Structure 1
């Protein structure tokens, strides 16, 4: 079980650096928003819920691409505390409801034209139950559009430390959705980020808050062992080291 309080604490701590450092997440949001904009049947969404807004990558894209009559914005951390100031300014003229808390357990709005989410669902403990929970909240033929991450995500970290999230594959996610949704678009791919050293890999993970799964502190000996193993296993020809991301994008229509 994922301890949401740890996730909340670390994302809150990394909010100041996330918008600058989360390059892969930003690229995934751009792709997700572009596909969603092509598929959604109108330029206006009457009521839209965003789950796990973070600092606002997807929020900003939705504001640019759609006229949203009522925007519900959720995050585990209070969204008003972590959204970038520029994005909050854009929202100030809109009908906005901030829904702070764990989307798996809190009451969510109904009568929605769409639910969107980016880089969030990998933190959920029971994704199948969550899909069943949100299905009645979406109007018939409304859309669910999200990105998450697959089993190859951070494979380097997991192979060395033996710790990490239990990511669902794209195929598994499709199976979990099929009773309530029709899949309109799905894809996944691998992205490799390069760093000068394994220490910079760890700093990147810390600055984006995505280390919320573990209590573990690497002492001096364990850290040195981690560095040695990473260099041995994952050094590139240019002497950099790699970290794997495995994004998944899904657009589905409520049955």
Structure 2
């Protein structure tokens, strides 16, 4: 059963390649989460020379990092070539064609988070906005992130937790024997994986963000436009029948409030360091994680 929830990486790449042109119009949630990550960054003292934007997409986070760290060299890495091409064309043509500026331009790299095409200890900061949920084994992923970070390097990320799309998951449950919603990792388990990978002083927190829609089709179309639809190994490959679709809509209608259908997203934030001394309490106990749960209203 567990293998049914494994992410098909080829499917992920194809989905985001297809969604490259529609992504920006649909990705309001991703931009909002990126903005909230940037707010958290203001409380962290760090001056990186090289930054990896892991899962850079169409470049919204890369541009925010460029504003924050004007002197840093940024590597924008994504699994989908289409996303990188979309991001690159947003760089002014005159910057792309002036030789004297080539050393200051960001690099665009097509690659997998689990097999980063980067040297060991080669970056000072990794920034990753809602990307890690596409990785099948976070032990492998965080070990790789730890490998490429230099001493005193910072990892800062966001991802989705288990309550994400809980309404959709519940509506699909019992409909058939296929997986319809991706599986997401609990915040506490992510913290444990980070410690096992060797990260120091990890800090974790979580919040709920609820989006609302007029109907179920609007929700599913937006998920597809973002490239974030179901790519699990156990997914259904054929079309859903009319009776099944009607049943799915009927179940989801039970969640309607004030004329709108909700879609819950559990957003997990985390940051940690490489080779930084672990924080301790006055009695010598090690501080491993900080959990702050905040509920937000609909965007």
**Structure 2 length as normaliser, TM-score?**
0.78
Structure number having the greater helix percentage: 1
Q: Distance in 1 between matches of 2:149 and 2:134?
A: 22
Report which stretch shifted further, 190-199 or 160-169: 160-169
The corresponding residue for 1:7 is 12
TM-superposed CA distance for 1:68, in Å, is 4.3
Deviations 1:9-43 (A, max 9, x none): 1111122221121111111000112212431422x
Aligned with 1:24 (options 16, 20, 29): 29
Structure 2: gaps (5+ residues): 1-5, 174-179, 276-299
Q: Distance in 2 between matches of 1:36 and 1:89?
A: 30
The corresponding residue for 2:132 is 121
Q: Distance in 2 between matches of 1:41 and 1:106?
A: 23
Larger CA Rg, structure 1 vs 2: 2
TM-superposed CA distance for 1:245, in Å, is 0.9
The corresponding residue for 2:65 is 62
Structure 1: gaps (5+ residues): none
**Structure 1 length as normaliser, TM-score?**
0.90
1:149 is the counterpart of 2:170: no
Q: Distance in 2 between matches of 1:143 and 1:113?
A: 6
Q: Structure 1 residues 88, 148: closer, same or farther in 2, change over 3 A?
A: farther
1:252 is the counterpart of 2:255: no
Aligned with 1:222 (options 237, 244, 248): 244
| Alpha carbons 1:37, 1:65 under 8 Å: kept | no
Deviations 1:147-202 (A, max 9, x none): 10000001112112242222111111111101311245321111111111111111
Q: Kindly report the root-mean-square deviation, in angstroms, between the aligned alpha carbons of the 2 structures.
A: 2.0
Corresponding pairs, count: 251
Q: Structure 1 residues 13, 211: closer, same or farther in 2, change over 3 A?
A: same
| Alpha carbons 2:158, 2:268 under 8 Å: kept | yes
Q: How does 1:1-255 map to 2 (within 5 A)?
A: 1-42=6-47, 45-78=48-81, 79-83=83-87, 85-87=89-91, 92=96, 93=101, 94-110=104-120, 111-162=122-173, 163-179=180-196, 180-213=198-231, 214-216=235-237, 217-231=239-253, 233-236=254-257, 238-255=258-275
